[in-house]
Chains A and B, each alone.
Chain A
Amino acid sequence: MPEKEKKQGTNISRRNFLKGVGTGTVAATVAPSVLIGSEKAADAQVDDAVANATIQLNINGKSYQIEVEARTTLLTVLRDGIDTSGSNIDLTGAKLICDRGECGGCTVMVDGKAVYACMMLAIDAQGKEITTVEGLAEGDDLHPVQDAFIQHDALMCGFCTPGFIVSSAALLNENASPTLEEIKVGLSGNTCRCGTYPFIFDAVKTASRKM
Protein backbone atom coordinates (compact mmCIF):
# COMPACT_ATOMS: atom_id res chain seq x y z
CA MET A 1 0.00 0.00 0.00
CA PRO A 2 2.57 2.72 0.92
CA GLU A 3 4.22 2.50 -2.50
CA LYS A 4 0.88 2.84 -4.24
CA GLU A 5 -0.10 5.80 -2.15
CA LYS A 6 3.11 7.56 -3.07
CA LYS A 7 2.45 7.07 -6.76
CA GLN A 8 -0.99 8.59 -6.56
CA GLY A 9 0.31 11.55 -4.63
CA THR A 10 -2.32 11.28 -1.92
CA ASN A 11 -2.68 9.38 1.30
CA ILE A 12 -5.76 7.40 0.29
CA SER A 13 -5.93 4.88 -2.53
CA ARG A 14 -8.65 5.27 -5.12
CA ARG A 15 -10.25 1.99 -4.08
CA ASN A 16 -10.40 2.92 -0.42
CA PHE A 17 -11.72 6.31 -1.30
CA LEU A 18 -14.59 4.75 -3.25
CA LYS A 19 -15.36 2.31 -0.46
CA GLY A 20 -15.27 5.12 2.10
CA VAL A 21 -17.80 7.36 0.43
CA GLY A 22 -21.33 6.43 1.41
CA THR A 23 -24.64 7.16 -0.26
CA GLY A 24 -25.39 9.90 2.25
CA THR A 25 -22.59 12.08 0.96
CA VAL A 26 -23.71 11.60 -2.59
CA ALA A 27 -27.31 12.48 -1.86
CA ALA A 28 -26.02 15.67 -0.30
CA THR A 29 -23.84 16.51 -3.28
CA VAL A 30 -26.62 15.98 -5.80
CA ALA A 31 -29.27 17.75 -3.79
CA PRO A 32 -28.44 21.38 -4.72
CA SER A 33 -28.81 20.63 -8.40
CA VAL A 34 -32.09 18.83 -7.79
CA LEU A 35 -33.43 21.85 -5.94
CA ILE A 36 -32.40 24.22 -8.67
CA GLY A 37 -34.02 21.90 -11.17
CA SER A 38 -37.31 21.62 -9.35
CA GLU A 39 -37.63 25.39 -9.07
CA LYS A 40 -37.69 25.44 -12.85
CA ALA A 41 -39.70 22.27 -13.29
CA ALA A 42 -41.62 23.84 -16.16
CA ASP A 43 -38.43 24.05 -18.24
CA ALA A 44 -38.11 21.42 -20.93
CA GLN A 45 -34.51 20.84 -19.81
CA VAL A 46 -35.05 19.73 -16.24
CA ASP A 47 -31.77 18.97 -14.52
CA ASP A 48 -33.14 16.82 -11.72
CA ALA A 49 -31.07 13.76 -10.97
CA VAL A 50 -33.39 10.79 -11.23
CA ALA A 51 -32.95 7.17 -10.19
CA ASN A 52 -36.36 6.30 -11.65
CA ALA A 53 -38.26 8.06 -14.38
CA THR A 54 -41.40 7.78 -16.42
CA ILE A 55 -40.25 8.00 -20.00
CA GLN A 56 -41.99 8.21 -23.33
CA LEU A 57 -40.63 6.02 -26.12
CA ASN A 58 -41.68 5.97 -29.74
CA ILE A 59 -41.34 2.38 -30.88
CA ASN A 60 -42.43 1.26 -34.36
CA GLY A 61 -44.56 4.39 -34.68
CA LYS A 62 -46.40 3.77 -31.43
CA SER A 63 -45.94 5.81 -28.26
CA TYR A 64 -45.34 4.01 -24.97
CA GLN A 65 -45.11 5.42 -21.48
CA ILE A 66 -42.88 3.32 -19.26
CA GLU A 67 -41.51 3.58 -15.75
CA VAL A 68 -37.85 2.70 -15.73
CA GLU A 69 -34.83 2.82 -13.50
CA ALA A 70 -32.10 5.05 -14.93
CA ARG A 71 -29.96 1.92 -15.38
CA THR A 72 -32.55 0.05 -17.52
CA THR A 73 -31.33 -0.59 -21.05
CA LEU A 74 -33.44 -0.06 -24.15
CA LEU A 75 -33.23 -3.81 -24.80
CA THR A 76 -34.73 -4.64 -21.41
CA VAL A 77 -37.62 -2.24 -22.04
CA LEU A 78 -38.32 -3.68 -25.48
CA ARG A 79 -38.39 -7.25 -24.27
CA ASP A 80 -39.65 -7.01 -20.69
CA GLY A 81 -41.02 -3.48 -20.26
CA ILE A 82 -44.58 -2.83 -19.12
CA ASP A 83 -46.45 0.23 -20.34
CA THR A 84 -47.98 2.39 -17.58
CA SER A 85 -51.36 1.16 -18.88
CA GLY A 86 -50.29 -2.29 -17.72
CA SER A 87 -49.66 -3.98 -21.07
CA ASN A 88 -46.43 -5.75 -21.87
CA ILE A 89 -44.36 -4.18 -24.62
CA ASP A 90 -43.28 -7.67 -25.58
CA LEU A 91 -41.07 -6.84 -28.56
CA THR A 92 -38.83 -9.87 -28.23
CA GLY A 93 -37.40 -9.78 -31.76
CA ALA A 94 -34.26 -8.05 -30.51
CA LYS A 95 -32.38 -10.81 -28.69
CA LEU A 96 -30.50 -10.62 -25.40
CA ILE A 97 -27.34 -12.61 -26.18
CA CYS A 98 -23.96 -11.14 -25.24
CA ASP A 99 -25.35 -8.02 -23.50
CA ARG A 100 -22.01 -6.29 -24.17
CA GLY A 101 -22.41 -4.74 -27.63
CA GLU A 102 -20.45 -7.43 -29.43
CA CYS A 103 -22.81 -9.92 -31.08
CA GLY A 104 -25.45 -7.71 -32.75
CA GLY A 105 -28.42 -9.87 -31.74
CA CYS A 106 -30.16 -6.87 -30.15
CA THR A 107 -29.71 -4.49 -33.11
CA VAL A 108 -32.53 -1.97 -33.54
CA MET A 109 -32.73 1.28 -35.48
CA VAL A 110 -32.69 4.58 -33.63
CA ASP A 111 -33.52 7.47 -35.95
CA GLY A 112 -32.80 5.14 -38.88
CA LYS A 113 -29.34 4.06 -37.68
CA ALA A 114 -28.39 0.62 -36.38
CA VAL A 115 -27.52 0.56 -32.68
CA TYR A 116 -27.09 -2.07 -30.00
CA ALA A 117 -30.16 -1.87 -27.76
CA CYS A 118 -28.20 -3.60 -24.97
CA MET A 119 -25.69 -0.75 -24.85
CA MET A 120 -28.15 2.12 -24.80
CA LEU A 121 -30.01 3.28 -21.72
CA ALA A 122 -33.78 3.42 -22.26
CA ILE A 123 -33.74 6.94 -20.83
CA ASP A 124 -31.34 7.93 -23.64
CA ALA A 125 -33.77 6.69 -26.31
CA GLN A 126 -36.43 9.30 -25.49
CA GLY A 127 -37.44 11.59 -28.33
CA LYS A 128 -36.10 9.20 -30.97
CA GLU A 129 -37.77 6.94 -33.53
CA ILE A 130 -37.05 3.37 -32.48
CA THR A 131 -37.61 0.64 -35.06
CA THR A 132 -37.36 -3.02 -34.12
CA VAL A 133 -37.56 -6.00 -36.46
CA GLU A 134 -41.30 -6.15 -35.66
CA GLY A 135 -41.72 -2.67 -37.15
CA LEU A 136 -40.18 -3.37 -40.56
CA ALA A 137 -43.11 -5.14 -42.21
CA GLU A 138 -46.18 -3.16 -43.22
CA GLY A 139 -49.10 -5.33 -42.26
CA ASP A 140 -48.67 -8.60 -44.15
CA ASP A 141 -46.15 -7.05 -46.55
CA LEU A 142 -42.70 -8.04 -45.44
CA HIS A 143 -39.78 -5.64 -45.76
CA PRO A 144 -37.72 -6.45 -48.89
CA VAL A 145 -34.86 -7.59 -46.65
CA GLN A 146 -37.18 -10.05 -44.87
CA ASP A 147 -38.44 -11.37 -48.22
CA ALA A 148 -34.88 -11.78 -49.45
CA PHE A 149 -33.80 -13.65 -46.31
CA ILE A 150 -36.60 -16.16 -46.95
CA GLN A 151 -35.78 -16.41 -50.64
CA HIS A 152 -32.07 -17.06 -49.97
CA ASP A 153 -32.67 -19.26 -46.93
CA ALA A 154 -30.33 -16.87 -45.14
CA LEU A 155 -30.60 -18.47 -41.72
CA MET A 156 -29.92 -21.72 -39.95
CA CYS A 157 -30.81 -21.59 -36.27
CA GLY A 158 -32.27 -18.11 -36.78
CA PHE A 159 -31.33 -16.61 -33.44
CA CYS A 160 -29.14 -13.88 -34.99
CA THR A 161 -31.59 -13.23 -37.83
CA PRO A 162 -33.61 -10.31 -36.38
CA GLY A 163 -30.37 -8.43 -35.69
CA PHE A 164 -29.04 -9.15 -39.18
CA ILE A 165 -32.31 -8.04 -40.77
CA VAL A 166 -32.35 -4.73 -38.90
CA SER A 167 -28.65 -4.11 -39.68
CA SER A 168 -29.32 -4.92 -43.35
CA ALA A 169 -32.28 -2.54 -43.48
CA ALA A 170 -30.22 0.21 -41.81
CA LEU A 171 -27.39 -0.38 -44.28
CA LEU A 172 -29.77 -0.08 -47.25
CA ASN A 173 -31.19 3.15 -45.73
CA GLU A 174 -27.73 4.68 -46.00
CA ASN A 175 -26.51 2.97 -49.14
CA ALA A 176 -29.20 1.77 -51.54
CA SER A 177 -26.87 -0.37 -53.67
CA PRO A 178 -23.92 -1.56 -51.62
CA THR A 179 -21.07 -3.60 -53.05
CA LEU A 180 -20.27 -6.97 -51.47
CA GLU A 181 -17.45 -5.32 -49.52
CA GLU A 182 -19.82 -2.60 -48.28
CA ILE A 183 -22.34 -5.25 -47.24
CA LYS A 184 -19.64 -7.05 -45.26
CA VAL A 185 -18.63 -3.82 -43.51
CA GLY A 186 -22.25 -2.84 -42.93
CA LEU A 187 -23.02 -6.17 -41.26
CA SER A 188 -19.69 -6.44 -39.42
CA GLY A 189 -21.39 -5.68 -36.11
CA ASN A 190 -23.47 -8.87 -36.25
CA THR A 191 -22.29 -12.40 -35.60
CA CYS A 192 -23.80 -15.65 -36.90
CA ARG A 193 -22.37 -18.69 -35.16
CA CYS A 194 -23.90 -21.01 -37.76
CA GLY A 195 -21.89 -19.21 -40.44
CA THR A 196 -24.71 -18.33 -42.83
CA TYR A 197 -22.87 -15.23 -44.00
CA PRO A 198 -22.73 -15.92 -47.78
CA PHE A 199 -26.52 -16.42 -47.94
CA ILE A 200 -27.06 -13.28 -45.85
CA PHE A 201 -24.84 -11.25 -48.19
CA ASP A 202 -26.78 -12.62 -51.19
CA ALA A 203 -30.07 -11.70 -49.51
CA VAL A 204 -28.96 -8.12 -48.94
CA LYS A 205 -27.85 -7.86 -52.57
CA THR A 206 -31.25 -9.12 -53.72
CA ALA A 207 -33.09 -6.76 -51.36
CA SER A 208 -31.04 -3.82 -52.64
CA ARG A 209 -32.17 -4.58 -56.21
CA LYS A 210 -35.81 -4.55 -55.13
CA MET A 211 -35.71 -1.35 -53.11
Chain B
Amino acid sequence: MEKFSYVNATSLEQVTSLLSESGWGEVMLIAGGTDLLAELKEYIETPKTLINLKTLPGMDSIEADASGLRIGALATVADISMHPTIQHHYTVLSQAAGSVATPQIRNVGTLGGNLCQRPRCWYYRDEATDCLKKGGDICYAIDGLSKYHAILGGDPVYIVHPSDLAPALIALGASVKIVGPEGEKSMSLEEFFTLPAANPFRENVLEPNEIVVEVSVPAPKPNTRSFYLKAREKGAPDFALSSVAGVFEMDGKTCKTASIVLGGVAPAPWRSKEAEAAVTGKMIDESVSQQAGSDAVKDAEPLNDNAYKVTLTQNLVSRAAMMAAS
Protein backbone atom coordinates (compact mmCIF):
# COMPACT_ATOMS: atom_id res chain seq x y z
CA MET B 1 0.00 0.00 0.00
CA GLU B 2 1.05 3.59 -0.63
CA LYS B 3 0.93 5.93 2.34
CA PHE B 4 -2.27 7.88 2.85
CA SER B 5 -3.77 10.26 5.37
CA TYR B 6 -6.75 9.11 7.37
CA VAL B 7 -9.55 11.31 8.62
CA ASN B 8 -12.58 10.42 10.71
CA ALA B 9 -15.91 11.47 9.23
CA THR B 10 -17.83 13.85 11.47
CA SER B 11 -20.80 14.63 9.22
CA LEU B 12 -22.04 13.93 5.69
CA GLU B 13 -21.43 17.62 4.89
CA GLN B 14 -17.77 17.24 5.85
CA VAL B 15 -17.48 14.00 3.80
CA THR B 16 -18.98 15.47 0.63
CA SER B 17 -16.96 18.64 1.03
CA LEU B 18 -13.68 16.68 1.34
CA LEU B 19 -14.69 14.54 -1.64
CA SER B 20 -15.52 17.66 -3.68
CA GLU B 21 -11.97 18.90 -3.48
CA SER B 22 -10.68 16.36 -6.02
CA GLY B 23 -11.77 13.89 -8.66
CA TRP B 24 -11.91 10.10 -8.49
CA GLY B 25 -9.26 8.29 -6.51
CA GLU B 26 -7.62 11.12 -4.56
CA VAL B 27 -9.89 11.01 -1.54
CA MET B 28 -11.61 7.67 -0.94
CA LEU B 29 -14.09 6.32 1.58
CA ILE B 30 -13.44 3.41 3.93
CA ALA B 31 -16.05 1.50 5.91
CA GLY B 32 -15.35 -2.24 6.25
CA GLY B 33 -12.39 -1.88 3.91
CA THR B 34 -12.44 -5.51 2.75
CA ASP B 35 -12.61 -4.52 -0.92
CA LEU B 36 -10.75 -1.22 -0.66
CA LEU B 37 -7.67 -2.60 1.15
CA ALA B 38 -7.27 -5.29 -1.51
CA GLU B 39 -7.25 -2.56 -4.17
CA LEU B 40 -4.73 -0.52 -2.19
CA LYS B 41 -2.48 -3.55 -1.67
CA GLU B 42 -2.46 -4.17 -5.42
CA TYR B 43 -1.88 -0.46 -6.18
CA ILE B 44 -5.09 -0.38 -8.24
CA GLU B 45 -6.01 2.69 -6.23
CA THR B 46 -3.50 5.00 -4.57
CA PRO B 47 -5.56 7.57 -2.65
CA LYS B 48 -3.90 10.39 -0.76
CA THR B 49 -6.63 10.47 1.87
CA LEU B 50 -9.11 7.95 3.28
CA ILE B 51 -12.23 9.12 5.07
CA ASN B 52 -13.34 6.72 7.79
CA LEU B 53 -17.12 6.52 7.59
CA LYS B 54 -17.53 4.34 10.69
CA THR B 55 -17.54 7.43 12.92
CA LEU B 56 -20.81 8.64 11.33
CA PRO B 57 -23.52 7.98 13.92
CA GLY B 58 -26.64 5.93 13.21
CA MET B 59 -25.73 4.84 9.70
CA ASP B 60 -25.55 1.14 10.61
CA SER B 61 -29.18 0.75 11.62
CA ILE B 62 -31.69 -1.69 10.17
CA GLU B 63 -35.30 -0.56 10.65
CA ALA B 64 -38.22 -2.76 9.71
CA ASP B 65 -41.91 -1.86 9.91
CA ALA B 66 -45.14 -2.47 7.99
CA SER B 67 -44.05 -0.18 5.14
CA GLY B 68 -40.74 -1.95 4.59
CA LEU B 69 -37.03 -1.87 5.44
CA ARG B 70 -34.54 0.95 5.79
CA ILE B 71 -30.95 -0.23 5.97
CA GLY B 72 -28.11 2.19 6.68
CA ALA B 73 -25.11 1.96 4.37
CA LEU B 74 -22.89 0.98 7.31
CA ALA B 75 -25.00 -2.05 8.33
CA THR B 76 -22.80 -5.11 8.03
CA VAL B 77 -23.57 -7.93 5.64
CA ALA B 78 -23.71 -10.28 8.67
CA ASP B 79 -26.32 -8.10 10.40
CA ILE B 80 -28.44 -8.09 7.23
CA SER B 81 -28.19 -11.86 6.78
CA MET B 82 -29.14 -12.62 10.39
CA HIS B 83 -31.88 -10.01 10.90
CA PRO B 84 -35.03 -11.98 11.87
CA THR B 85 -37.49 -9.83 9.87
CA ILE B 86 -35.28 -10.00 6.79
CA GLN B 87 -34.98 -13.78 7.16
CA HIS B 88 -38.77 -14.19 7.33
CA HIS B 89 -40.11 -11.56 4.94
CA TYR B 90 -37.21 -10.66 2.64
CA THR B 91 -35.79 -14.15 2.20
CA VAL B 92 -33.97 -13.36 -1.04
CA LEU B 93 -32.00 -10.63 0.73
CA SER B 94 -31.13 -12.76 3.73
CA GLN B 95 -30.01 -15.60 1.45
CA ALA B 96 -27.96 -13.25 -0.72
CA ALA B 97 -26.27 -11.69 2.33
CA GLY B 98 -25.53 -15.13 3.78
CA SER B 99 -23.87 -16.12 0.50
CA VAL B 100 -21.44 -13.19 0.51
CA ALA B 101 -17.79 -14.18 0.97
CA THR B 102 -16.89 -15.59 4.41
CA PRO B 103 -18.00 -15.00 8.04
CA GLN B 104 -14.93 -12.82 8.61
CA ILE B 105 -15.81 -10.57 5.67
CA ARG B 106 -19.55 -10.49 6.43
CA ASN B 107 -18.71 -9.33 9.97
CA VAL B 108 -17.02 -6.16 8.72
CA GLY B 109 -18.20 -5.65 5.12
CA THR B 110 -21.04 -3.15 4.80
CA LEU B 111 -24.11 -2.69 2.62
CA GLY B 112 -22.68 0.47 1.03
CA GLY B 113 -19.37 -1.24 0.34
CA ASN B 114 -21.03 -4.31 -1.11
CA LEU B 115 -23.02 -2.17 -3.56
CA CYS B 116 -20.02 0.01 -4.50
CA GLN B 117 -17.33 -2.72 -4.56
CA ARG B 118 -15.17 -2.82 -7.67
CA PRO B 119 -15.08 -5.68 -10.20
CA ARG B 120 -13.12 -8.88 -9.63
CA CYS B 121 -11.88 -9.11 -13.24
CA TRP B 122 -8.31 -10.41 -13.16
CA TYR B 123 -7.19 -7.85 -15.72
CA TYR B 124 -8.70 -5.01 -13.70
CA ARG B 125 -7.14 -6.35 -10.47
CA ASP B 126 -3.68 -6.71 -12.00
CA GLU B 127 -1.56 -3.63 -11.37
CA ALA B 128 0.49 -4.16 -14.52
CA THR B 129 -2.48 -4.46 -16.89
CA ASP B 130 -3.66 -1.14 -18.26
CA CYS B 131 -7.08 -2.31 -19.34
CA LEU B 132 -9.94 -0.24 -20.70
CA LYS B 133 -11.58 -0.05 -17.28
CA LYS B 134 -8.46 1.64 -15.92
CA GLY B 135 -8.04 4.06 -18.82
CA GLY B 136 -6.19 1.74 -21.23
CA ASP B 137 -7.24 0.94 -24.76
CA ILE B 138 -8.87 -2.49 -24.69
CA CYS B 139 -10.77 -4.94 -22.56
CA TYR B 140 -8.43 -7.94 -22.43
CA ALA B 141 -11.30 -10.34 -21.70
CA ILE B 142 -12.36 -10.16 -25.36
CA ASP B 143 -9.31 -12.06 -26.65
CA GLY B 144 -7.88 -13.21 -23.34
CA LEU B 145 -9.11 -15.43 -20.52
CA SER B 146 -12.82 -14.85 -20.05
CA LYS B 147 -14.09 -17.67 -17.86
CA TYR B 148 -15.58 -15.31 -15.25
CA HIS B 149 -16.68 -12.48 -17.53
CA ALA B 150 -19.93 -11.09 -18.87
CA ILE B 151 -22.34 -12.82 -21.23
CA LEU B 152 -24.81 -9.92 -21.26
CA GLY B 153 -24.38 -6.13 -21.60
CA GLY B 154 -20.59 -6.29 -21.82
CA ASP B 155 -19.61 -4.04 -24.65
CA PRO B 156 -17.04 -2.45 -24.34
CA VAL B 157 -15.95 -3.75 -20.89
CA TYR B 158 -16.76 -7.35 -19.99
CA ILE B 159 -16.52 -7.24 -16.19
CA VAL B 160 -19.35 -8.71 -14.13
CA HIS B 161 -20.79 -6.89 -11.16
CA PRO B 162 -19.70 -8.89 -8.08
CA SER B 163 -22.44 -7.87 -5.62
CA ASP B 164 -24.85 -10.48 -4.25
CA LEU B 165 -26.92 -7.92 -2.35
CA ALA B 166 -27.60 -5.78 -5.42
CA PRO B 167 -29.62 -8.35 -7.45
CA ALA B 168 -31.63 -9.28 -4.35
CA LEU B 169 -32.39 -5.66 -3.45
CA ILE B 170 -33.31 -4.74 -7.03
CA ALA B 171 -35.64 -7.74 -7.23
CA LEU B 172 -37.32 -6.44 -4.06
CA GLY B 173 -37.80 -3.01 -5.67
CA ALA B 174 -35.28 -1.19 -3.46
CA SER B 175 -34.34 2.45 -3.76
CA VAL B 176 -31.08 4.05 -2.69
CA LYS B 177 -30.51 7.37 -0.94
CA ILE B 178 -27.45 9.31 -2.06
CA VAL B 179 -25.99 12.41 -0.44
CA GLY B 180 -23.89 14.96 -2.32
CA PRO B 181 -22.87 18.57 -1.77
CA GLU B 182 -26.31 19.73 -2.94
CA GLY B 183 -28.16 17.53 -0.50
CA GLU B 184 -29.81 14.14 -0.78
CA LYS B 185 -31.64 12.37 -3.56
CA SER B 186 -33.24 8.96 -4.01
CA MET B 187 -33.41 6.71 -7.02
CA SER B 188 -34.31 3.12 -7.75
CA LEU B 189 -31.36 0.82 -7.13
CA GLU B 190 -31.88 -0.57 -10.63
CA GLU B 191 -31.09 2.87 -12.10
CA PHE B 192 -28.14 3.33 -9.74
CA PHE B 193 -26.06 0.76 -11.63
CA THR B 194 -24.80 1.56 -15.12
CA LEU B 195 -23.40 -0.38 -18.04
CA PRO B 196 -19.94 0.22 -19.54
CA ALA B 197 -21.48 1.63 -22.71
CA ALA B 198 -22.55 4.62 -20.58
CA ASN B 199 -19.30 4.83 -18.60
CA PRO B 200 -16.55 2.20 -18.93
CA PHE B 201 -14.73 3.41 -15.80
CA ARG B 202 -17.46 3.19 -13.15
CA GLU B 203 -20.23 0.73 -12.30
CA ASN B 204 -22.82 3.20 -11.01
CA VAL B 205 -24.04 6.77 -11.32
CA LEU B 206 -22.24 8.13 -8.24
CA GLU B 207 -20.29 11.33 -8.81
CA PRO B 208 -16.87 11.59 -7.12
CA ASN B 209 -18.40 13.70 -4.34
CA GLU B 210 -21.47 11.57 -3.63
CA ILE B 211 -22.01 8.85 -1.06
CA VAL B 212 -24.59 6.08 -0.61
CA VAL B 213 -26.25 6.48 2.79
CA GLU B 214 -29.30 4.21 2.89
CA VAL B 215 -31.29 1.60 1.00
CA SER B 216 -35.05 1.27 1.43
CA VAL B 217 -37.07 -1.76 0.48
CA PRO B 218 -40.87 -1.76 0.22
CA ALA B 219 -42.65 -4.51 2.15
CA PRO B 220 -43.31 -7.50 -0.11
CA LYS B 221 -46.92 -8.13 -1.15
CA PRO B 222 -48.78 -10.98 0.59
CA ASN B 223 -48.05 -14.46 -0.79
CA THR B 224 -44.64 -13.44 -2.03
CA ARG B 225 -41.96 -16.09 -2.31
CA SER B 226 -38.39 -15.09 -2.89
CA PHE B 227 -35.09 -16.91 -3.45
CA TYR B 228 -31.44 -16.22 -4.14
CA LEU B 229 -29.79 -19.01 -6.09
CA LYS B 230 -26.04 -18.68 -6.51
CA ALA B 231 -23.76 -20.93 -8.51
CA ARG B 232 -20.13 -20.99 -7.41
CA GLU B 233 -17.21 -22.83 -8.88
CA LYS B 234 -16.59 -24.67 -5.61
CA GLY B 235 -18.42 -25.42 -2.39
CA ALA B 236 -16.32 -22.89 -0.50
CA PRO B 237 -17.14 -19.17 -0.43
CA ASP B 238 -16.71 -17.41 -3.73
CA PHE B 239 -18.20 -14.82 -6.02
CA ALA B 240 -21.10 -15.92 -8.18
CA LEU B 241 -20.45 -17.54 -11.55
CA SER B 242 -24.11 -16.76 -12.03
CA SER B 243 -26.88 -15.96 -9.61
CA VAL B 244 -30.61 -15.37 -9.74
CA ALA B 245 -32.62 -13.22 -7.36
CA GLY B 246 -36.29 -14.05 -7.83
CA VAL B 247 -39.27 -12.42 -6.12
CA PHE B 248 -42.60 -13.99 -7.08
CA GLU B 249 -46.06 -12.84 -6.00
CA MET B 250 -48.07 -16.05 -6.19
CA ASP B 251 -51.70 -17.15 -6.18
CA GLY B 252 -51.34 -20.88 -5.69
CA LYS B 253 -49.18 -22.02 -8.58
CA THR B 254 -50.05 -18.95 -10.64
CA CYS B 255 -47.55 -16.12 -10.71
CA LYS B 256 -49.21 -12.69 -10.41
CA THR B 257 -46.01 -10.64 -10.65
CA ALA B 258 -42.31 -11.52 -10.80
CA SER B 259 -38.99 -9.74 -10.46
CA ILE B 260 -36.02 -11.70 -11.74
CA VAL B 261 -32.55 -10.17 -11.51
CA LEU B 262 -29.33 -11.92 -12.54
CA GLY B 263 -25.94 -11.51 -10.88
CA GLY B 264 -22.48 -12.50 -12.06
CA VAL B 265 -23.34 -12.39 -15.76
CA ALA B 266 -23.29 -8.70 -16.69
CA PRO B 267 -21.41 -5.51 -15.72
CA ALA B 268 -24.48 -4.47 -13.72
CA PRO B 269 -27.16 -6.49 -11.96
CA TRP B 270 -29.27 -7.68 -14.91
CA ARG B 271 -33.04 -7.38 -14.72
CA SER B 272 -34.51 -10.05 -16.95
CA LYS B 273 -37.79 -8.58 -18.18
CA GLU B 274 -37.93 -11.51 -20.63
CA ALA B 275 -37.94 -14.11 -17.85
CA GLU B 276 -40.44 -12.06 -15.85
CA ALA B 277 -42.78 -11.90 -18.87
CA ALA B 278 -42.48 -15.65 -19.35
CA VAL B 279 -43.94 -16.40 -15.90
CA THR B 280 -46.24 -13.42 -15.20
CA GLY B 281 -49.91 -14.40 -15.25
CA LYS B 282 -49.02 -18.03 -15.90
CA MET B 283 -49.46 -21.17 -13.91
CA ILE B 284 -45.84 -22.17 -13.42
CA ASP B 285 -45.08 -25.69 -14.54
CA GLU B 286 -42.05 -27.40 -16.08
CA SER B 287 -42.54 -25.88 -19.53
CA VAL B 288 -43.23 -22.32 -18.27
CA SER B 289 -40.13 -22.43 -16.06
CA GLN B 290 -38.01 -23.74 -18.94
CA GLN B 291 -39.32 -20.97 -21.14
CA ALA B 292 -38.36 -18.41 -18.46
CA GLY B 293 -34.85 -19.87 -18.36
CA SER B 294 -34.31 -19.77 -22.10
CA ASP B 295 -35.87 -16.30 -22.44
CA ALA B 296 -33.51 -14.99 -19.74
CA VAL B 297 -30.45 -15.82 -21.85
CA LYS B 298 -31.78 -15.33 -25.37
CA ASP B 299 -29.64 -12.20 -25.87
CA ALA B 300 -26.52 -13.71 -24.27
CA GLU B 301 -23.27 -13.30 -26.22
CA PRO B 302 -20.63 -15.41 -24.51
CA LEU B 303 -16.90 -14.80 -24.95
CA ASN B 304 -14.32 -17.54 -25.63
CA ASP B 305 -14.43 -19.20 -22.20
CA ASN B 306 -17.80 -18.49 -20.64
CA ALA B 307 -20.51 -20.14 -22.74
CA TYR B 308 -21.13 -22.42 -19.74
CA LYS B 309 -22.67 -19.39 -18.00
CA VAL B 310 -25.51 -19.37 -20.55
CA THR B 311 -26.65 -22.89 -19.60
CA LEU B 312 -25.98 -22.26 -15.93
CA THR B 313 -28.06 -19.08 -15.86
CA GLN B 314 -30.86 -20.66 -17.87
CA ASN B 315 -31.10 -23.52 -15.38
CA LEU B 316 -30.94 -21.25 -12.32
CA VAL B 317 -33.83 -19.13 -13.64
CA SER B 318 -35.89 -22.25 -14.37
CA ARG B 319 -35.14 -23.63 -10.93
CA ALA B 320 -36.15 -20.36 -9.22
CA ALA B 321 -39.44 -20.35 -11.11
CA MET B 322 -40.16 -23.97 -10.16
CA MET B 323 -39.36 -23.19 -6.51
CA ALA B 324 -41.90 -20.34 -6.59
CA ALA B 325 -44.63 -22.78 -7.58
CA SER B 326 -43.66 -25.67 -5.33
Distance (Å) between the CB of A157 and the closest chain B CB? 19
CB-nearest residue of chain A to B25: A18
Q: Is B65 an interface residue, CB under 8 A from the partner?
A: no
| Highest count of chain B CB atoms <10 Å: which of A47, A104, A170 | A47
Q: Is B2 an interface residue, CB under 8 A from the partner?
A: yes
Q: Are A116 and B6 in contact (CB under 8 A)?
A: no
Q: Is A13 an interface residue, CB under 8 A from the partner?
A: yes
Q: Is A210 an interface residue, CB under 8 A from the partner?
A: no
Q: Quick one: CB contact mask for B279-306 with A, threshold 8 Å, 1 for yes? A: 0000000000000000000000000000
Task: Report B-chain residues with C-beta under 8 Å of the C-beta of A15.
Answer: 130, 134-136
Give the number of A-B contacts (CB < 8 Å).
145
Q: Quick one: CB contact mask for A186-198 with B, threshold 8 Å, 1 for yes? A: 1011010000000
Within 8 Å by CB of A49, from B7, B41, B54, B135, lies B7
Distance (Å) between the CB of A196 and the closest chain B CB? 15
Known: A26-B48, A119-B37. A114 touches B134 (CB 8 A): no
Q: Are B7 and A115 in contact (CB under 8 A)?
A: no
Known: A21-B26, A51-B3. A16 touches B104 (CB 8 A): no
Known: A45-B55, A114-B103. A26 touches B24 (CB 8 A): no
Task: Report A-chain residues with C-beta under 8 Å of the C-beta of B41.
Answer: 99-100
Q: Is B61 an interface residue, CB under 8 A from the partner?
A: no
Q: Is A35 an interface residue, CB under 8 A from the partner?
A: no
* Contact residues of A between 1 and 41, Cβ < 8 Å to B: 4, 7-8, 13-18, 21, 23, 25-26, 29-30, 33
* Contact residues of B between 48 and 85, Cβ < 8 Å to A: 48-50, 52, 54-55, 78
Q: Quick one: CB contact mask for A144-157 with B, threshold 8 Å, 1 for yes? A: 00000000000000
Give the distance in Å from the alpha carbon of A143 to the alpha carbon of B49 in the complex.
Answer: 41
Give the distance in Å from the alpha carbon of A71 to the alpha carbon of B50 in the complex.
Answer: 10
Give the distance in Å from the alpha carbon of A13 to the alpha carbon of B131 in the complex.
Answer: 13
Known: A26-B22, A119-B38, A124-B52. A189 touches B105 (CB 8 A): yes
Q: Are A188 and B37 in contact (CB under 8 A)?
A: no
Q: Is B307 an interface residue, CB under 8 A from the partner?
A: no
Known: A45-B55, A116-B104, A121-B33. A14 touches B135 (CB 8 A): yes
CB-nearest residue of chain A to B10: A47
* Contact residues of B between 117 and 137, Cβ < 8 Å to A: 130, 132, 134-137
**What size tier do the contact residues of chain A reach?**
35 or more
Give the distance in Å from the alpha carbon of A186 to the alpha carbon of B5 in the complex.
Answer: 35
Distance (Å) between the CB of A159 and the closest chain B CB? 17
Q: Are A47 and B199 in contact (CB under 8 A)?
A: no
Q: Is A161 an interface residue, CB under 8 A from the partner?
A: no
Q: Are A30 and B137 in contact (CB under 8 A)?
A: no
CB-nearest residue of chain A to B133: A14
Distance (Å) between the CB of B12 and the closest chain A CB? 13
Known: A50-B7, A70-B50, A188-B103. A7 touches B37 (CB 8 A): no
Q: Are B107 and A50 in contact (CB under 8 A)?
A: no
Give the distance in Å from the alpha carbon of A101 to the alpha carbon of B30 in the complex.
Answer: 16
Q: Is B108 an interface residue, CB under 8 A from the partner?
A: yes
Task: Report B-chain residues with C-beta under 8 Å of the C-beta of A8.
Answer: 199-201
Task: Report B-chain residues with C-beta under 8 Å of the C-beta of A71.
Answer: 1-4, 40
Q: Are A188 and B102 in contact (CB under 8 A)?
A: yes
Q: Is A107 an interface residue, CB under 8 A from the partner?
A: yes
Q: Quick one: CB contact mask for A103-143 with B, threshold 8 Å, 1 for yes? A: 01001001001111001110110000000000000000000
CB-nearest residue of chain A to B78: A113
| Highest count of chain A CB atoms <10 Å: which of B14, B25, B40, B102 | B102
Q: Quick one: CB contact mask for B210-253 with A, threshold 8 Å, 1 for yes? A: 00000000000000000000000000110000000000000000
CB-nearest residue of chain A to B237: A188
- Measured CB to CB, the residues of A under 8 A from B are 4, 7-8, 13-18, 21, 23, 25-26, 29-30, 33, 45-51, 53, 69-71, 73, 99-101, 104, 107, 110, 113-116, 119-121, 123-124, 167, 170-171, 185-186, 188-189, 191
- 16 A-B residue pairings within 8 Å (CB atoms): A4-B137, A13-B135, A18-B24, A21-B23, A25-B22, A26-B48, A45-B10, A47-B7, A49-B5, A49-B49, A51-B5, A70-B50, A101-B104, A116-B34, A185-B103, A188-B102
3 tightest A-B CB contacts, nearest first: A189-B102, A15-B135, A70-B6
